[in-house]
Chains A and B, each alone.
Chain A
Amino acid sequence: MSPSAPAPARKGMIIDRDGLQSLLDRLSARGFDVIGPTVRDGAIIYDRISSVDVMPEGWTDDQDAARYRLARRSDMALFGYAVGPHSWRRFLQPPEERLWQATRQQVGLTIHTTAVPSAPYAFIGVRACELRAISIQDRVFLEGPHPDRRYAERRRGAFIVAVNCTEAGGTCFCASMGSGPRAADGFDLALTELIDANGHRFLLEVGTDAGAASVEDLPSRDADAGALVAAEEATARAAAGMRRKMATAGLKELLQANPEHPHWSEVAERCLACANCTLVCPTCFCSTVADYTDLRGHEADRVRRWDSCFAADFSSIHGGPVRASRRARYRQWMSHKLAHWIDQFDISGCVGCGRCITWCPVGIDITVEAAAIRAAPPRPAAGEGDDDGNA
């Protein structure tokens, strides 16, 4: 759905696996580029899907710090996993895109824009934490003084089918970030997958008029009270099953007051500065640009691609990087995510999806590192005390 569209009153309906296939067919027929979960290279990723058959049916993911393994489920759930290495960010803010092309002329040069994809996206299986991540990226790319035209173009056409989580993944902590496991808003349609004595079915809720239009005449039946209760219990179970949590009270002030906390050095001894955490994070938005010319030197391309604050040259000014040490880079990433983000965008940059914990090759756990800084007594702030606390 588009940002800030009003959500009409919900009504529940029940569809089955065939009903979900019909929904995919309809979205394709309406010209959407339908993107959903599928299994590839031992992970559940997001890619173009045309059929329920390519979805991760009967698969789950076993996750812990530095651990991700696919495993067979005892049932044929389509959404029986948490989140994988991909997030929807890779579609709304692609890892690499050409911004423009310049051509050298007899005299001077011309600069021309390059087209963006024309088909709008339909995202299938967007988790509550991912909805929050999209809304956070909306604040970054759309709500500042200089909105990003390419993001706006992709975002405004996107159709979102959310999925409420019924099980917690091994590294999830969305409940403590207030971003899940149930999708509250920001979707066109929301599904809750139910597998019990009454069979394998989906409770389908409508979030927008566009959502309602897309399910008109879809083979379905009205949701009975039992299904609504079962869905409620399933999301409550997911919330209760989370093994990690982030204590957010006062966290911004804590991190901003402790840039010299000894724990940053302790983390730096483990951190490899590999940038995995920033690449899997659904809210990280940093990018860089690169310039290429053809061999004749007549055409030059400017490309924008994801960048990471862990990269050595990320902070380079002439003379060298401002943040040369891993200590400084980890501090930047975590302080930005959990503290400065709140000053910048009035919301935390963390949604509790757990990806940075799972995909960190050495298992650095943002919830544990935040707790460690909280556990040691904060040092009295240095300086004259008239800073706004952003140190």
Chain B
Amino acid sequence: MIPALPPDTMMPEPWRVRSVVRESADVYTLGLESLSSPVPPFLPGQFNMLYAFGVGEVPISLSGDAADVSGFVHTIRAVGAVSTALSQAQPDSVLGLRGPFGCGWPLTEASGHDILIVAGGLGLAPLRPVIYHLLAHSEHFGRITILHGSRSPAEILFRSELAMWQTRPDVSVAITVDHADPTWHGHVGVVPALVERAVFDPPGTIAFVCGPEVMMRFSAAALLAAGVGANRIHVSMERNMKCAIGLCGHCQFGADFVCRDGPVLPYDRIAKRLAVPEL
């Protein structure tokens, strides 16, 4: 017999927008609070499905502090109809939300290691909860290195926080841009070049990589070349998602449902797949 009917995981719940911060031209950070149930716990790296009334639903990573149980924080880039509608949400408006879903970054496995964060573009958003966690529990981790690549200086995400993290003695931050402007006096070049320059201890390091897939491929190659084991590199994958619970089939990547078995996946498990176009 099928026992008690399972909960309806496809049903969103109403959440109120309590803050909107414009991060750059088309990137916004929304603070959300629940109007019905208590705020569920989340793991850094997990995502929610956010629903804009009548427009649709998209997966968006959690970008806030998992220790803050008062609400959820999401950083959204307006690229499609739904993400544009979400990014235009006004304070006090209400969105639909279901989640959190997916597997997070392997923080337990990372304990006792140096941590290398490699974030490209908006890829810093799903990694920010990791950084908060590492900084709050720094006694469990070694050195923390944060490498962030951005298209241009204006698009550097969480710029003031990066500057603040940089001031900690146990943290190094390096930022590079693909295209500099006259205001920029920092690195120019791609993220893998930062990996080559970073001072870290490859055998004792666990790397968390998030960004566009091509950036993750080249960053993983640079990490491997530097001597970080393939099983110590973790990447966060992006695929089309409709259900977020492994039932709609859209996000399949080989045998993995990215929504359920990922989005964070160990590089050694997917390295061969990443090399196959259109998989």
Q: Which residues of A contact B (CB under 8 A)?
A: 2-5, 99-100, 102, 104, 107-111, 113, 140-142, 144-150, 152-153, 155-156, 256, 259-260, 285-289, 291-293, 297, 300, 302, 304, 307, 309, 314-318, 322-325, 327-328, 332, 336, 339-340, 343-344, 381-391
Across the interface, which residues of B come within 8 angstroms of A150, CB to CB? 8
Query: If A146-B247, A156-B1 touch, does A111 touch B13 (CB 8 Å cutoff)?
Result: yes
24 A-B pairs, CB-CB below 8 angstroms?
A: A3-B1, A3-B2, A109-B53, A111-B11, A111-B13, A111-B14, A113-B11, A147-B6, A148-B6, A149-B7, A153-B5, A300-B54, A315-B239, A317-B238, A318-B79, A322-B278, A325-B278, A343-B255, A381-B272, A382-B272, A384-B230, A386-B231, A390-B272, A391-B272
Across the interface, which residues of A come within 8 angstroms of B1, CB to CB? 2-5, 156
Query: A148 contacts B247, CB within 8 Å?
Result: yes
Query: If A107-B94, A108-B14, A390-B255 touch, does A288 touch B248 (CB 8 Å cutoff)?
Result: yes
Across the interface, which residues of B come within 8 angstroms of A140, CB to CB? 247
Query: A323 contacts B278, CB within 8 Å?
Result: yes
Q: How far is the CA of A111 from the CA of B247 in the complex (A)?
A: 21
Query: Shortest beta-carbon distance, B225 to chain A, in Å?
Result: 12
Q: Is B276 an interface residue (CB 8 A)?
A: yes
Q: Is B252 an interface residue (CB 8 A)?
A: yes
Query: B271 contacts A340, CB within 8 Å?
Result: no
Q: Is B268 an interface residue (CB 8 A)?
A: yes
Q: How far is the CA of A147 from the CA of B2 in the complex (A)?
A: 11
Q: Is B270 an interface residue (CB 8 A)?
A: yes
Across the interface, which residues of A come within 8 angstroms of B35, CB to CB? 108
Q: How far is the CA of A384 from the CA of B231 in the complex (A)?
A: 12
Across the interface, which residues of B come within 8 angstroms of A260, CB to CB? 276
Query: If A152-B2, A386-B230, A387-B272 touch, does A315 touch B240 (CB 8 Å cutoff)?
Result: yes
Query: A332 contacts B252, CB within 8 Å?
Result: yes
Q: Is B155 an interface residue (CB 8 A)?
A: no
Q: How far is the CA of A88 from the CA of B53 in the complex (A)?
A: 34
Across the interface, which residues of A come within 8 angstroms of B252, CB to CB? 332, 336, 340
Query: B255 contacts A285, CB within 8 Å?
Result: no
Task: Count CB-based A-B contacts (< 8 Å).
Answer: 179
Q: Is B72 an interface residue (CB 8 A)?
A: no
Query: B240 contacts A322, CB within 8 Å?
Result: yes
Query: Shortest beta-carbon distance, B228 to chain A, in Å?
Result: 13
Q: Which residue on chain B has the smallest CB distance to residue A381?
A: B272
Query: Shortest beta-carbon distance, B62 to chain A, in Å?
Result: 18
Q: How far is the CA of A145 from the CA of B101 in the complex (A)?
A: 11
A3, A100, A146, A150 — most chain B CB neighbours (10 Å): A146
Query: A108 contacts B273, CB within 8 Å?
Result: no
Q: Which residue on chain A has the smallest CB distance to residue B77?
A: A318
Across the interface, which residues of B come within 8 angstroms of A340, CB to CB? 252, 254-255
| CB-CB nearest 9 A-B residue pairs | A108-B94, A286-B249, A390-B254, A387-B272, A328-B278, A146-B245, A343-B255, A293-B54, A156-B2
Across the interface, which residues of A come within 8 angstroms of B243, CB to CB? 287, 289
Q: Which residue on chain B has the smallest CB distance to residue A328?
A: B278
Query: Shortest beta-carbon distance, A2 to chain B, in Å?
Result: 5
Q: How far is the CA of A185 from the CA of B20 in the complex (A)?
A: 57
Query: Shortest beta-carbon distance, B236 to chain A, in Å?
Result: 13
Q: Which residue on chain A has the smallest CB distance to residue B238?
A: A317
Q: How far is the CA of A107 from the CA of B93 in the complex (A)?
A: 7
New A-B contacts (18) at CB < 8 Å, excluding given A144-B245, A153-B5: A2-B1, A99-B10, A102-B51, A102-B54, A108-B16, A111-B11, A144-B260, A149-B9, A152-B6, A256-B254, A286-B248, A287-B242, A289-B243, A293-B53, A328-B278, A383-B275, A390-B254, A391-B275
Across the interface, which residues of B come within 8 angstroms of A291, CB to CB? 54-57
Contact residues, B227-279 vs A (CB, 8 A): 230-231, 238-240, 242-243, 245-250, 252, 254-257, 260, 268-273, 275-279
Looking at the complex, which one of A300, A307, A318, A389 makes contact with B250 (CB distance below 8 Å)?
Answer: A307
Q: How far is the CA of A104 from the CA of B53 in the complex (A)?
A: 8
Query: Shortest beta-carbon distance, B276 to chain A, in Å?
Result: 5
Q: How far is the CA of A209 from the CA of B8 in the complex (A)?
A: 30
Q: How far is the CA of A293 from the CA of B81 in the complex (A)?
A: 15
Q: Is B80 an interface residue (CB 8 A)?
A: yes
Looking at the complex, which one of A142, A314, A390 makes contact with B256 (CB distance below 8 Å)?
Answer: A390
A110, A260, A388 — most chain B CB neighbours (10 Å): A388
Query: If A259-B276, A291-B55, A382-B275 touch, does A107 touch B6 (CB 8 Å cutoff)?
Result: no
Query: A304 contacts B6, CB within 8 Å?
Result: no
Query: A288 contacts B250, CB within 8 Å?
Result: yes
Query: If A107-B92, A111-B13 touch, does A155 touch B2 (CB 8 Å cutoff)?
Result: yes
